[in-house]
Amino acid sequence: MKIAVLGGTGDMGSAIAGRLSRSHGVIIGSRDPEKAKAAASKMAGASGDSYEGASSLCEAAILAVPYEAMGVASSLAEPLAGKLVVSVVNPLRFEGGALRYGLETGSAAEQLARMLPDSGVATAFNGIPFGMLHGEDELHADVLVASTSKEAFEQAASLVRSVPSLKPLYAGPIVEAQAVERMTPLLLNLARWNRSPALTTRFVPMS
C-alpha cells in the first residue's frame, strides 16, 4: 500500500515513516519537497513530495504535523477524499511543570474529520514515543484507535498490524479521540516523573 506521511520530516513523522517503509511504499509529504526527498532517501523504497503531491499519490495518509500546523489538511480535502487519514496529532502545552492536554473540548482527530468530510479519519499511534518507533526493537504495544466509522477502524487496524508486534484496539467512535490523545501527556509525564525510559501502552487481560 502507498502511505503518505504528511509531516514526515519531523520527529514523529519520520519515525512512523521509517517503520511503515519496511512493509509499505511510503511517500513523505512536506511543505518543502526537497526536504521530503532528503528524508525519503534514508528509507528504502520511500519517496518525497509536497503535501499535495503525496496526498494525490497515496492510498492512505498519516497526518503527523504539530497541532498548530494541522490546518494544512483543509487544503487537502480533495486529494484525500475516499481515503483513510490517520491522525497522530497531539495537542500539548507545558504548564505547572508538566505537559497538559491542549484542548478544553473535542480533539485534534475530530477537527481533522471536519476538515476532511469525505475521508475516513482515525486517531492511532498517539501513545507510542517517536524514540521507540525510530529503534529496531519490536514494540509489543497496544494501539488505541478511535474512528469515524468501523470501516475506517478496520483500515487503520490493518495499518497498525503491518508493524510487527503492534496490536490495534478499538477505542470507539471519533468522539472518543480525546481520551486517546490524552494518553500522550500522561505517558510522557509518567516517564519523566519516575525517571523511566519512554513508556507506551499495553493492556493485560486478567486471568
Instruction: Report the phi/psi class of residue 6: left, alpha or beta, with left for phi > 0 and alpha for psi in -120 to 50.
Output: beta
Q: Is the pLDDT of residue 207 over 80?
A: no
In DSSP terms, which residues pair with 168 in a beta bridge? Answer: 143
Residue 113's pLDDT band, with cuts at 50, 70 and 90, is: very high
Question: What is the percent of the chain with per-residue pLDDT over 70, rounded to a whole number?
Answer: 100
All structural domains of the chain with their residue ranges: 2-193
Cell numbers for 115: 476538515
Count of residues making up the chain: 207
Radius of gyration of the chain (CA): 16
Q: What is the pLDDT of residues 172-202, one digit of tens each?
A: 999 999 999 999 999 999 999 999 888 898 8
In DSSP terms, which residues pair with 28 in a beta bridge? Answer: 5, 48
Q: Is the pLDDT of residue 171 over 80?
A: yes
Residue 6's pLDDT band, with cuts at 50, 70 and 90, is: very high
Question: What is the Cα–Cα distance from 38 to 51, expressed in whole angstroms?
Answer: 15
pLDDT at residue number 132: 83
Phi, psi of 115 (to 5 degrees): -75, -30
Question: What is the Cα–Cα distance from 120 to 207, expressed in whole angstroms?
Answer: 36
pLDDT at residue number 198: 87
Q: Is the pLDDT of residue 135 over 80?
A: no
Tell me what the mean pLDDT of segment 36-48 comes to.
93
Q: Where are the beta strands (DSSP E) in 54-181?
A: 60-63, 84-87, 92-95, 98-101, 120-123, 141-147, 166-173
Pick 2-193's CATH classification: 3.40.50.720, 3.10.580.10, 3.30.70.600, 3.40.50.300. Answer: 3.40.50.720
Cell numbers for 170: 478499538
Q: What is the pLDDT of residues 60-101, one digit of tens each?
A: 999 999 999 999 999 999 999 999 999 999 999 999 989 999
Phi, psi of 143 (to 5 degrees): -115, 115
- Mean pLDDT of the residues in the chain: 94
Phi, psi of 16 (to 5 degrees): -65, -40
- Whether 142 contacts 101, CB under 8 Å: no
